[in-house]
Amino acid sequence: MAEMRKSEEEEYLENYRQELERENQMMLSKYETIIEEFVQYCQSIDVFIDTESISFTPTIGVVCEHPNILSDLMPSLQKDKEGLYSWSELSTKFRINKFNSGYFYSQSFMAMASPVFRRGMHSVNNWAPRFVEKFWSLDMEGIDAYLSLDQNRVRINVDNSCYREEDTWFGSPFNEDISEIADGVSHLRPPSDLDAHHLDFFFNDAYALDICWSTKGDIKSFQALEFKGPKNIIQMNGGTFHPVRYVHAEYDLIKSEFRHFDGATQYHTPEEYLVRRDSNFRHNVKEKIKIKPKSLKSFKLNGSVSVETWTELSSHFFASNPLIHEYFSGGYPPYLVDTLEKIRARSAKNT
């Protein structure tokens, strides 16, 4: 019986793969003229790609994937020392549509925000709710903003089509006076009575959220690390890593605003992950084994950043993680509170 179910599952997956391939070929045929024009444009600027580099991704559109394609197509676009692009420069070289977040329009292609902002940090997924949308809608007056872009992929169909997904994640309220927050560390975990399925579904596979506040002179610093479950891994440069989102911000106690705010992804080896996930920000001070993971910056804001902007972007950078909602508001979102009560009531009946 088990072998039969496995065979049926394999057949289903094979049929699904075939359906995706049929859709891919159909959409490539639909956009054949646009693809040919793009290839010709690339050749005109001495960028040579083949048709194998072009595919259709339902959540994006027609995509050209080629090493360093973005810099090849626009060599004048410069990264800073942290690998980020200036929003000010992007807005002069591209057209930005606030109603189609994540994309930068040029005449022949569309640049895209980095895959780290997509669901599960996977390149074929749609944007995770709702950081990119919020970033695109920011009032940049008084803010020097920077963002990481997709280096190896561009979208070819230059239009306003977009892939919409409905989500119930709306960020967290935060009403505390930051100057009154005590320095120290916090380590938040999901409820211990939930099984792996519920943790994955309702907590987006969150394992822990580390928070740290510290003060030096007139500057109060905030740090947060989001650890996912042990199955959340990626392959990079021939190695296996656990991606861990990181946020850092500096609050000016005199001006009552943040002067700096950035987000990054740290890449922990399996050994580093197991050591660090149950510790806190004092780990490197207390322990002999120091954790210094590779880190890639995702965004940064310098200048006059409001507490509201910091709260909102932090909430959405840690996409769909109720632990950040718990930290900012003191409790889980109302919908989750009701759901957990029902799960526990059902569990109690079955015992």
Question: Contact, 53 vs 65, CB < 8 A?
Answer: yes
Range of the domain at 328: 178-349
Tokens of 295: 């880190």
> 197-245, pLDDT tens digit by residue?
888 888 889 999 999 999 999 999 999 999 999 999 999 989 999 999 9
Whether 55 is covered by a domain: the verdict is: yes
Task: Assess whether 140 and 232 both reside in one domain.
Answer: no
Taking the alpha carbons at both ends of the chain, their separation in whole angstroms is 29
Q: Flag whether pLDDT at 293 surpasses 90.
A: yes
Task: Assess whether 71 and 128 both reside in one domain.
Answer: yes
- Res 287: pLDDT: 79
- Res 172: pLDDT: 58
Domain count, the chain: 2
- Res 243: pLDDT: 96
Task: Assess whether 74 and 112 both reside in one domain.
Answer: yes
pLDDT confidence tier of residue 173, bands split at 50, 70 and 90 = low
Q: Flag whether pLDDT at 165 surpasses 70.
A: no
140, 155, 170 — which closes off a domain? 155
Task: Assess whether 204 and 336 both reside in one domain.
Answer: yes
Closest to 128 in 3D by CA, of 228, 42, 49: 228
- Res 249: pLDDT: 98
C-alpha distances (whole Å) from 264 to each of 296, 304, 318, 336 are: 6, 20, 11, 27
What value does the mean pLDDT of the chain take?
90
Least trusted range by pLDDT, from 111-120, 143-152, 285-294: 285-294
Task: Assess whether 188 and 88 both reside in one domain.
Answer: no
> Maximum distance among all alpha carbons in the chain?
71
Whether 8 is covered by a domain: the verdict is: no
Place of tokens 């909430």: 315
* pTM of the complete model: 0.87
Q: Which amino acid is at 162?
A: C
Question: Contact, 44 vs 78, CB < 8 A?
Answer: no
